[in-house]
Amino acid sequence: MIKSFFKTSLTFLSVYCILSVSLFAQVTSETRTNEVRNAESNIRKLLEDAGRSFNEGMLAYEDGNFAEAGAKFNKSVETFLYSTINIQKEARLQGCYNQLIETVYLIEFPSETKLPQIRSLVATCGWNISNEKADRLVSLVRSALSKTPNTAVAANGTAVPRDLQARVGFNTQEFEPSPLDELSKLQLTPEELDVNNPVAQQQYVYIQQAVANRSLGFSFQVHPMIQQYINYYQGRGRKTMEVGLYRSGMFMRMARRIFREEGVPENVAWLGQVESAWKPSAMSHMAASGLWQFIPGTGARYGLRRTAYVDERNSFEEATRASARYLKFLANRYGGNWELAMAGYNCGEGNVDRAIRRAGVANFWAAYPYLPQETRNYVPNILATILIANNPHQYGFGHIRPAAPLVYDRVRVPPSTNLAIIAQASDTTVQYLRYLNPHLRTNQTPPEPYVINVPLNKGNEVVAVFRRMPATNINNNNLANAASGETWQTISNKTGVSVAELMAANPGMKTPQGKVFVPVRGNNVAATSFTRPTNAAAPAAAPGVRTVKARAGDTVRKVAERNGVDATELAKFNGLLPNSVLPAGREIKIPAK
């Protein structure tokens, strides 16, 4: 009886276990299937949203609304940037994103040898855009390159190009809202204010350690509000932080160098992220402008000029140096207290002085109740940003790849030089020069010798052009690229300028070589041939380096395998990623083995 009972019980238990395992397996399988399905849905939606914005940009470009086209193309790129999906781990998204950036750039800054590969982009991203529509846009971009600049004669008799490359570049020089406007209204939620949960407590210990060992290069007082802003950036402020960390790559190397030269802790330069999100065109409701948000009075105090020709608050290096000097002045004023220096940068030393008098001690947290609301948010916000930027993995931002540094050459040009001639001398466009020089208010440099930024490795060419021609005649000429074997007669045939005039404009040059001056009066010279400017230094040429062209559907890894080289090294050599999708015809340099 007992034996039978145990046998029955064991049988029941076995059946129960089998059913339980089966049910558990079924639930696990269904859960995983749902997770995969949700992930696929999110990826599909991201691609659809990006494609919709890109398509709207194409329509705006066809209608001649280039500012709107630029905004829509930027929105297409930002769809990836603002997404919570890690695009570097999804091959489809990574390929689409990399090719999208390349395509948008080539729509804005095309050349005869590099036109946007829109068909390839559409295929990579799986967008529903017809080949006819893609080809029509490429045709419009190509037609822009054939346009010649019209010229007008100014009152002083100087010929001024009126519409150089009218459809090259989106020509968007508008100001963008400063993040300081939102910061002044920011209210932290109860969840963000909570610093007692285990994760926040662990991160708070890290802040204490960073301050104790001075690993950030300067000292500050540990306060729970710093952790509260870290909580904010790990939650609803995540996209703001991600975009800021990405854009910081363009300017932070330059900012660190200048702050170091001026004797300011390098990490204090992260103030730029809170001020402008690293946007040179940012402007606040208080008329503060540029990367470092100078108001006119403070900018002038530190040597940033505002004239009909320039607003140097929007410059890269000059405004950065002015910012470092102002911060150093403030730190010296407050006995080396960088929290008070940051507060003074935001609301002015007068407000900080009054807050200190009311608090009775030169301490930011003691003066905190007496400072403007924006400044109360501002200082802990910067300290939170510095902590996250110095240890992004600690705070969940390790997946962000900063943008490539914005690199360029700096050259001094003659007074009142038109940007058209500088663009031709540096093989770029007026629009790209304006991008590199956001402080220029017109297409002409100030009426005195002036230093401007030109594309990397083009500085010597620009200087060489100006050395050959007196400054008074610079704006009376265009430049043409002389092909190998050309004569003055062939250039005369193309431009409508006589051989005698051409030779007079290029004294000492027996046969045309490189860039030659062509008098603008009465000629129909075609614009110089443009090449895509780059923000990164090209690898130095080495013996044995050869160039191959990518095939349709190629990635860097496929090209590497075909040529027997390491994919990672090949990617680095060409400034790409191993999984970067390459448009057909893209030239790839193969390093010597």
Which amino acids are annotated catalytic? 275
Can you name the residues that pair with 590 across neighbouring β-strands?
A: 546
Cβ atoms of residues 446 and 415 within 8 Å: yes
Angle at which helices 317-333 and 338-347 cross, to 10°: 120
Q: How far is CA 301 from CA 278, 322, 329, in A?
A: 22, 9, 12
What distance in Å separates the CA atoms of residue 86 and residue 83, rounded to the nearest whole number? 8
Q: How far is CA 102 from CA 99, 116, 442, 455, 569, in A?
A: 5, 8, 28, 18, 21
What distance in Å separates the CA atoms of residue 425 and residue 148, rounded to the nearest whole number? 16
Question: Alpha helix locations (H) across 194-301?
Answer: 198-212, 224-234, 238-261, 271-276, 296-301
Cβ atoms of residues 312 and 321 within 8 Å: no
Can you name the residues that pair with 546 across neighbouring β-strands?
A: 590
Angle made by CA atoms 28, 33, 34, in degrees to the nearest 5 = 100
Tokens of 335: 């006995």
Q: Which long-range contacts (CB under 8 A, 24 or more apart) does 547-552 make?
A: 547/587, 547/588, 547/589, 547/590, 548/587, 548/588, 548/590, 549/584, 549/585, 549/586, 549/587, 549/588, 550/582, 550/583, 550/584, 550/585, 550/586, 550/587, 550/588, 551/584, 552/120, 552/584
Task: Please choose, from the candidates 245, 236, 234, 208, the residue with its C-alpha nearest in 3D space to the C-alpha of residue 223.
Answer: 208
Angle made by CA atoms 22, 26, 32, in degrees to the nearest 5 = 145
Task: Please choose, from the candidates 454, 401, 467, 392, the residue with its C-alpha nearest in 3D space to the C-alpha of residue 426.
Answer: 454
Residue 413 sits at φ, ψ, to 5 deg, of: -115, 160
Residue 284 sits at φ, ψ, to 5 deg, of: -95, 170
Q: How far is CA 530 from the centre of its chain?
A: 22
What distance in Å separates the CA atoms of residue 324 and residue 272, rounded to the nearest whole number? 11
